Every structure is written in structure tokens, then in C-alpha cells.
Amino acid sequence: EDKVVQSPLSLVVHEGDTVTLNCSYEVTNFRSLLWYKQEKKAPTFLFMLTSSGIEKKSGRLSSILDKKELFSILNITATQTGDSAIYLCAVQHNAGNMLTFGGGTRLMVKP
Amino acid sequence: GAGVSQSPSNKVTEKGKDVELRCDPISGHTALYWYRQSLGQGLEFLIYFQGNSAPDKSGLPSDRFSAERTGGSVSTLTIQRTQQEDSAVYLCASSLLGPGANGELFFGEGSRLTVL
């Protein structure tokens, strides 16, 4: 059975801290791994990773994939209160682009 | 509209009643997905439509749940004889498949269902 596991479940940091969120997976027919940020309602897309070792970067956020060890990390540097959200990791299958989601990591950034 | 539209945004119903949730995907997107998110949880896959192919219903939790997609566009998720454990946010997403498409899902704002 396909499985996507995120850790930690929740995290509380202070502004300026750096955080690392983890996502490990066991899926068949892996195509890509995606990260989403969910603040209130609709998850919004952050990154799509398909190749190992190539870092994707967007401002203070970056992510990398290890297809040998079957995990990805999402780094956020110099955190801000606006980074408070649930961060969702999802694995995309070759068949039909369906996504299997992890349980999410709830990040709270305190002033 | 430019994004995925869902209605109603909130629905409160009594146990045993039927509910219908609607999703209007992004125009031109051939794939449509329904996910469910219980409080504080990740997204649970329910059903997936792709073009004219038979839908993937493998995530539907019971036969009280059904969904259809008419004309390859709007989709309706129906929950019959609702139970309290059906309370959740029901998220719809669509994606563009085809040459050059990366399969990124675009989510609607969700329909929050509360069963009393």
C-alpha cells in the first residue's frame, strides 16, 4: 500500500529560526513529489520534485528529493509569522497524476 | 472563473440526510479529484475523474458516497444518509493533463460539512 509519512507532526518556532520538514514515501510507479502550503482552506503549490539531488528554491523556501532513500525535505530559513501553516507533502503516481498525501506538518511561527 | 470553484462553502446537516457538494474545475482541465480532510489531518483521496475514462473510485469510504462528472466539467459528490464521521472539509482539485503538463493540482476552497 502506498504510504507518505511526514514529520514532525507539529512544530513551534520563533521568527528568524530555520526549520526542516521531512517527508518519506513508499509508493509504486513514482512520478514526482510535491509540496503544498495550506493556511486556511485551499492548499497552494510550492514545489514539484522529480530528480534526486536537484534543489528547488523559492525565496526562503527550498526543497530537495532523494529517490534512493525515498525522502524529501522542505527547508524554510529566517521564518516569519506568515509561514505558519500546514505543509503537505504528496507523491504523484505515473497513472493518472493522482496524488497520495502525507498527514502534514503543522508549523507555527511565533513573533 | 479562473480557479476551482466549490459550493457550498459550508453545509450543516442532520444525521441521515443526503448532501450534494459541487465542484467547477478550471476550464480545460481534464482531470478532477475529490479529497477529504478531517480536522487536523492530511488529505484523504476519494475519487478521480480523467476525461472519458471510468473514474477511479478506490478511495470512496462506503457505498453512501458517490460522485459524477457531467460533460467532462462540473462534478457533484453525493453523500447519502450522512453520519457524524462524514464531517470534514471536502476539497476538489483539477489538473491539466497532456503534453507539457506537469500534473500540478489546483485546489478549490473546499466545502466544510458538519453532520449534527
Q: Comparing C-alpha atoms, which of B108, B99, B39 is closest to residue B77?
A: B108
Q: Which chain B residues are within 8 Å of A32, Cβ to Cβ?
A: 102-103
Nearest chain B Cα to A39, which residue?
Answer: B109
pLDDT tier for residue B4 given thresholds of 50, 70 and 90:
very high
What is the tens place of the pLDDT at every residue in A67-90?
999 999 999 999 999 999 999 999
pLDDT exceeds cutoff 70 at B100:
no
Tell me whether residues B40 and A106 touch, CB distance under 8 A: yes
A5 to chain B, any CB pair closer than 8 A? The answer is no
pLDDT tier for residue B102 given thresholds of 50, 70 and 90:
low
pLDDT exceeds cutoff 60 at B98:
no
Beta strands B43-50 and B75-79: pairing type?
A: unpaired
Average pLDDT (B79-93) is 96
Q: What is the DSSP string of chain B?
A: --S-EEE-SEEEE-TT--EEEEEE--TT--EEEEEEE-TT--EEEEEEEETTSPPB-TT--STTEEEEEGGGS-EEEEE-S--GGG-EEEEEEEE--STT-----EE---EEEEE-
pLDDT exceeds cutoff 60 at A106:
yes
What is the tens place of the pLDDT at every residue in B18-34?
999 999 999 988 889 99
pLDDT tier for residue B89 given thresholds of 50, 70 and 90:
very high
Sign of CA dihedral B36, B93, B33, A103: negative
What is the tens place of the pLDDT at every residue in B28-64?
888 899 999 988 778 898 998 988 888 889 899 999 9
Q: Which residue has the higher pLDDT, A29 or B109?
A: B109
Q: Residue A11: what pLDDT?
A: 95
Q: Residue B99: what pLDDT?
A: 47
